[in-house]
Amino acid sequence: MSLEREPAEEADLLDPFRQFFALERDVLVLSAAMFAFSLGFQMTSRYMAEYMYALGATGAVVGLFGSFGNVISAVYPYPGGAISDRIGSRYALTAFGLCSTIGFGIWLAAPALEDVTIGPTSLAIVAVFLGLLLAQAWKSFGLGATFAIVKQAVPPSQLAAGFASTETFRRTAFLVGPLFAAALFYPFGSSDGEIVTAFQLILLVAVAFGALGTVVQHVRYRPDEDDIGKEFEGVSQLLADLRAMPSELRPLLIGDTLVRFANGMVYVFFVLVVTRVLEVGLSVPVPAVGTVSLSPQSYFGVLLGIEMVVALLTMIPVAKAAERIGLKPVVALGFVVYAVFPILLINAPADAAVLAGLFAFSGLRFAGLPAHKALIVGPAEQGAGGRVTGAYYLLRNLIVIPSAALGGLLWDGVSNPLTGGELFAGDPIVAFSIATAVGLVGTAYFLVFGEEFEAYR
């Protein structure tokens, strides 16, 4: 058999959308639901630190919230798969969608509890944590079920098209959601009260999309066969999968985990850098309208939109380029962007154009995602089977759990519990600098020890 590669086809940015409209109804319904929930979650999750600050939270509490989200991301998929096995994907996704919608509603109601305290903590902050338990249900609980629906609904020859359609529509929601949030923030100022009011409007939209997505997927999704597969068999299975992990994956896992840990330290604080450290908004003269002024909160949504435009424009061309230059350089590019973005952001001047350029640069980290997944799946398929991929993500996500809490302590400072004095005063520059250092270590490790997938050599 010839090992020569066929000439790479020209990248077609509209191809995932053409594939989408050619797919089975169940995948279309799933993609629509994924768009609705991703829109709601993306509109809200990137602003949660700003919302919590406006409700009186500290940087350390915001960091704990980020780590709490990491815990949910790590532990929800397995029980979610078990639930799907028991009641079927249709009813499972309906239940998960309802939970997410209720979670958005709890976030919406949280300010009503701001004056009620539990010790030093406002009950509103407790409600924000409780809301996350539910709001992330569709995204994390439903992970296994959504993969199974695509597998059931399309023939093997169209699996790539099925996953491409759902992923593309999810990323499109990542673009639309922040821009929607920016528009809703536009009429409001930057005081804590106005931030809370604006964010409640955003949450109302999230509740509406969550309810719509839940109804659509329950009514329109009608599987002929609803067999998700075997449920998780216990810790012994996970340990066996980790032992069976191909040697090619281990350097990638180590480098990836360090890079993701670094990003997790500061990711939840990006909004605060723009809105409360740099306090950068945008004023643009518009003919026949006058000057349009965006608050820092509104401009942050625009920055997220810029980031996702770059991601959507580069993912397919970079994936095609990987066929010529290999997966490893493309994955390393994504790691470098993850690593250096924090230090660039925290040291950026308070200039709207500079921030726009930085967030456009940040969008390049998504360009390496298809190559990253290929580098994981390729060796795993040859050496140990599909569950190795699940073990890879579970192990990585478990290790990353404390990253946001550590970032919060570095951002906010650490007190001596015995004397009440400060052990460390806290400094955002220190937090972001350490994050970049950890990310660069992970990137360097992967560059030195990471292996190329055989098919791309």
- Is residue 184 predicted with pLDDT exceeding 90? yes
Quick one: pLDDT at residue 231? 45
Rounded to whole angstroms, what are the CA distances from 32 to 169, 173, 308, 378? 8, 10, 19, 29
Same domain, 256 and 157: no
**Boundary (domain end) residue, out of 229, 260, 292:** 229
- Is residue 7 predicted with pLDDT exceeding 60? no
Q: Could you tell me if residue 249 is inside a domain?
A: yes
Same domain, 33 and 141: yes
Quick one: pLDDT at residue 160? 40
Quick one: pLDDT at residue 387? 57
Percent of the chain with pLDDT over 90: 49
Which residues are bridge partners to 121 per DSSP? 118
- Is residue 1 predicted with pLDDT exceeding 50? no
Q: What is the mean pLDDT of the chain?
A: 82
Whether the Cβ atoms of residue 278 and residue 355 lie closer than 8 Å to each other: yes
Least confident range from 60-74, 94-108, 359-373: namely 359-373
Q: Could you tell me if residue 143 is inside a domain?
A: yes
Same domain, 55 and 173: yes
**Boundary (domain end) residue, out of 178, 198, 229:** 229
Same domain, 224 and 265: no
Give the chain as a 3 state SS string.
CCCCCCCCCCCCCCHHHHHHHCCCHHHHHHHHHHHHHHHHHHHHHCCHHHHHHHCCCCHHHHHHHHHHHHHHHHHCHHHHHHHHHHHCHHHHHHHHHHHHHHHHHHHHHHHHHCCCEECCEEHHHHHHHHHHHHHCHHHHHCHHHHHHHHHHHCCHHHHHHHHHHHHHHHHHHHHHHHHHHHHHHCCCCCCHHHHHHHHHHHHHHHHHHHHHHHHHHHHHCCCCCCCCCCCCCCHHHHHHHHHCCCCCHHHHHHHHHHHHHHHHHHHHHHHHHHHHHCCCCEEEEECCCEEEEECHHHHHHHHHHHHHHHHHHHHHHHHHHHHHHCHHHHHHHHHHHHHHHHHHHHCCCCCHHHHHHHHHHHHHHHHHHHHHHHHHHHHHHHHCCCHHHHHHHHHHHHHHCCHHHHHHHHHHCEECCCCCCEEECCCHHHHHHHHHHHHHHHHHHHHHHCCCCHHHC
Choice between 446 and 164, residue whose per-residue pLDDT is larger: 446
Q: Looking at the 3D structure of the chain, how many domains does it have?
A: 2
Mean pLDDT over residues 349-376, rounded?
89
**pLDDT band at 6; cut points 50, 70, 90:** very low
**Cα separation, 237 vs 245, whole angstroms:** 12
- Is residue 241 predicted with pLDDT exceeding 80? no
Q: Could you tell me if residue 4 is inside a domain?
A: no
**pLDDT band at 4; cut points 50, 70, 90:** very low
**Cα separation, 82 vs 187, whole angstroms:** 45
Range of the domain at 29: 12-229
Least confident range from 34-38, 190-194, 234-238, 239-243: namely 234-238
Quick one: pLDDT at residue 117? 85
Same domain, 44 and 111: yes
Tokens 């640069």 locate to 361
Same domain, 193 and 293: no
- Is residue 21 predicted with pLDDT exceeding 90? no
**Per-residue model confidence as pLDDT tens digits over 254-282:** 999 999 999 999 999 999 999 999 999 99
**pLDDT band at 380; cut points 50, 70, 90:** low
Q: Could you tell me if residue 29 is inside a domain?
A: yes
- Is residue 419 predicted with pLDDT exceeding 80? no
Choice between 382 and 95, residue whose per-residue pLDDT is larger: 95
Quick one: pLDDT at residue 141? 55
- Is residue 118 predicted with pLDDT exceeding 50? yes
Q: Identify the CA nearest to 327 among candidates 363, 368, 371.
A: 371
**Boundary (domain end) residue, out of 171, 195, 229:** 229
Same domain, 158 and 49: yes
Instruction: Please return the burial class of 383, using the count of CB atoms within 10 Å of its CB with bins 0-12, 13-18 and 19+.
Output: middle
**Is the four-CA dihedral 390, 31, 334, 349 of positive or negative sign?**
negative
Q: Could you tell me if residue 160 is inside a domain?
A: yes
Same domain, 173 and 293: no
Q: Could you tell me if residue 2 is inside a domain?
A: no
- Is residue 11 predicted with pLDDT exceeding 50? no
Same domain, 279 and 373: yes
Whether the Cβ atoms of residue 429 and residue 269 lie closer than 8 Å to each other: no
Same domain, 266 and 224: no
Least confident range from 179-188, 286-295, 432-441: namely 286-295
Least confident range from 244-248, 289-293, 311-315: namely 244-248
- Is residue 441 predicted with pLDDT exceeding 80? yes
Same domain, 251 and 198: no
- Is residue 192 predicted with pLDDT exceeding 50? yes
Q: Could you tell me if residue 7 is inside a domain?
A: no
Quick one: pLDDT at residue 325? 84
**pLDDT band at 409; cut points 50, 70, 90:** very high
**Per-residue model confidence as pLDDT tens digits over 194-222:** 999 999 999 999 999 999 989 988 887 66
Same domain, 282 and 151: no
Quick one: pLDDT at residue 159? 42
**pLDDT band at 33; cut points 50, 70, 90:** confident
Q: Could you tell me if residue 3 is inside a domain?
A: no
**CATH number of residue 256's parent domain:** 1.20.1250.20
Tokens 């010790």 locate to 119
Q: What is the pTM of this model?
A: 0.86
- Is residue 440 predicted with pLDDT exceeding 90? yes
